[in-house]
Amino acid sequence: IYIGCVHDATDRDLLTRTGITHVLSALEDCPEVPMSIEQLHLPISDTFSSEFEVLPSFLRGAQFIHEAVSAGGRVLVHCAAGVSRSPTMVAAYLILYHNMSMETSISHLQALRQVVSPNLAFLGVLLTMEQ
């Protein structure tokens, strides 16, 4: 599982070099990826009025990651900058499929990618998933 920015999703050399088989795009505008790569587009905004608006998207994204990894795939999860939305998506996967706590999942991701910083609303979504 790789966390990145929108530019990573369109970098054919990077996708090939890392063996990416699946791309999860968690932003409003969906970049075009090579046709050989399975893509899921979840148009998540950094600003929303209710966690109930985005919770289904995070649940679906975590399922997509799980299915890809279970099949031996490599997944790039990206948003615009790879700071809030995409790390939250990977944290949701870790909480739901690896029984990590919200705090442990975020700490784990920050150790691997220092810029990881989910916004407060997304942290609330992760807490809901943890329960």
Catalytic residues: 79
- Measure the N-to-C terminal CA separation of the chain; round to a whole number of Å: 24
- Which of 70, 71, 98, 79 lies closest to 25 in space, CA to CA? 79
Sheet containing strand 2-4, strands side by side: 2-4, 75-78, 22-25, 38-41
The three-class DSSP label of residue 24 is: strand
CA 110 to chain centre: 14
